[in-house]
Amino acid sequence: MWGGRFAEGPSAIMREINASIPFDKALWRQDIAASKAHVAMLGAQGIVSAEDAATIAAGLDSVAAEYEANGVPEDWDLEDIHMTTESRLAELVGAAAGRLHTARSRNDQVATDFRLWVRDAIDQADAGLEALQRALVARAGDHAASIMPGFTHLQTAQPVTLGHHLLAYYEMTRRDRSRFADARARMNECPLGSAALAGTGFPIDRQATSSALGFDKPTDNSLDSVSDRDFALDYLMAASQCALHLSRLAEEFIIWASQPFGFVRLPDSLSTGSSIMPQKKNPDAAELVRGHAGRISGCLTALMMTMKGLPLAYSKDMQDDKPPVFEAAGLLALSIAAMTGMVADSTFRTDRMRQAAELGYATATDLADWLVREADIPFREAHHITGAAVKLAESEGKPLDALTIDQLRAIDGRIDERVYAALSVEASVAARASHGGTAPEQVRLRVAEARGALGMES
């Protein structure tokens, strides 16, 4: 490839450190597609003959068929997927293959291939997240009125509905999808034709190759085109945030599945057992999703450090751009699929959830609100009165609504029998009917909106 400039070949160390074919072979589909678009443009512009363009295109189809059937061979002397493909093309079609690289460089070639790959990864993530959203919305509809404790600091706070809780993750994934969509829109410009760094003197048609590959337009600066990987960083940033959301959802299922909680039975298909303790059913899939979030965030950090301080234009450091992106994409796809299955197939034990909501004095805020509404007591004073009622109920080992009216009036004489209508967990969730609240009617409205947005049958 470049032996004309050197009297000696590379050392074994140089050969090993320089070869990227073990990982960049993953780009073979994108490399074939970009090469076909490039040679079609060369033929249309008269830069290569129509006969040679047709021969090269047919040869590329043959190479693609071989890769599809047998995988991409790894010859470290050929360094990367680009030279591997060109070498095999030359074996198949002869000297005409040498015309394929006219008016391009491996610099714009890899920048184009990598953008195409990241674009495909974004589309895959978006499809996976849509499936997760469908599962969340379906289960939220099933449990619009199922009562559970809502937590702050992992302490019982107020009653909520399970549907409301699940829809919180729908909102997170909705924003995750928007981040991926933003990243896709920004990166959908075609670097092909930027050549090594300065463009080319051949009369190429960059709009033609851009359109053929589904890009919105060609990039506008050849130096920037070959030297930046912010599109990959955008993807990794979106993937990292998404992984954090998935990790939080996984942690919920891990906690809920533990014996002290017992809120959910995980599907056998996403659980494992113990080699020594026959009774165990471990939430390993959820724990691995939780762990993958750290690895995906690490991939983001790795690429940021690779790109830090690189002068224009291309530097060989950028060969290390692909492994972290490939790793993150694989981990993210697994994590999304695992949590989709977990949401769809778990059995929620709503009886345990409701019992837990009743045990934690979750309606204390409702008592304070009742005092404000019905007795015209300032909230801070109502807060103090309610705290005294909770202390009494706790000392007697009973829920708030089990205190007698005499006991409540002994704390504050302005309390009357009407208070009991506000102290049940059902009354508590029903009262939270403000927009975005946990009231079943609000949950059903949000479910209907989400079904419409996702094109789900009502």
Just list the catalytic residues. Answer: 153, 274
Q: Give the orientation angle of helix 284-307 with respect to helix 322-345, to 10 degrees.
A: 160
DSSP letter at 435 equals T
Q: Which two tokens stand for residue 410?
A: 């002994």
| Cβ–Cβ under 8 Å, residues 136 and 170 | yes
Distance CA 160, CA 10 (A): 66
Q: Which two tokens stand for residue 21?
A: 């074919």
Distance of CA 294 to CAs 288, 289, 290, 404, 439, Å? 10, 9, 8, 51, 35
Task: Spell out the SS3 assignment of 137-174.
Answer: HHHHHHCCCCEEEEEECCEEEEEEEHHHHHHHHHHHHH
The helix/strand/coil state of 191 is coil
Distance CA 445, CA 452 (A): 11
DSSP letter at 316 equals G
First vs last Cα of the chain: how many Å apart? Answer: 61
Residue 398: its H or E element: none
**Residue 125: half-sphere exposure toward Cβ, Cα within 13 Å:** 34
| Cβ–Cβ under 8 Å, residues 296 and 330 | no
Distance CA 420, CA 404 (A): 10
Distance CA 244, CA 295 (A): 11
The helix/strand/coil state of 317 is helix
Residue 414: how many other CB atoms lie within 10 Å: 15
Residue with tokens 């033609």: 208
Residue 218: its H or E element: strand 217-218
| Cβ–Cβ under 8 Å, residues 310 and 317 | yes
